[in-house]
Amino acid sequence: MLNYFDLTVIAVGVSLDAFAVAACWGASCRKKVATSALKTALSFGFFQALMPVLGWFALFRAADVISVWVPWIVLILLGGIGCKMIWEAVQARKDGITPVPAIGFKMLIIAGLAVSLDALGVGVSLALTKGPLLTAIAMMGGFTFIISFAGYVLGRFFGHLFERNIEIIGGVAIILIGCKIFIEQMFF
């Protein structure tokens, strides 16, 4: 049975992708830092708590089918978000304006899903080991909320170090995170 230490390690581990994406978004933020950080953290925390529940129930339905597609879904979603960030930065540079990332509701949902898909596997594992689902989702959602908020704020404060290229760097970083998750889930 999983203990609190195990759950803490899992919660922190699955939240690191959310931290990285939030930091990239924070670095390219130009205004309303607190509001944007809160929206990002709420989205990422919510989906990180939701996915283990879906994984728990998926075990009884279609765990084999879902687990095969998770790496591809993550790769496509994060790759798309990263490409969109790069495209907007390049277009803004051509037009001579300072790019401001459009992190609206749709983007929050897509990114929230993308960075939390690995939590589906945690839910399946919890079901198989009869682990404490409610404790796990509270810890995963809570840690992800805190870590995402911190990542966004840290990204905002340190983003000026790469001022002119931060949106492109952020887009590339998000694509690389998607590739990393894909490789880990496909080959390890």
Q: What is the phi/psi pair of residue 183, to 5°?
A: -65, -45
- Output the pLDDT for position 40: 96
Q: pTM for this one? A: 0.76
Profile the chain (188 residues) by mean pLDDT over runs of 10 residues: 82 87 84 89 97 84 68 82 81 67 82 86 79 92 96 87 72 83 84
- Output the pLDDT for position 165: 73
| Euclidean distance between the first and the last CA atom of the chain, given in angstroms as a whole number | 23
DSSP 103: -
Spatial distance between the Cα atoms of 178 and 25, rounded to a whole number of angstroms: 15
CA atoms within 13 Å, Cβ hemisphere of 95: 10
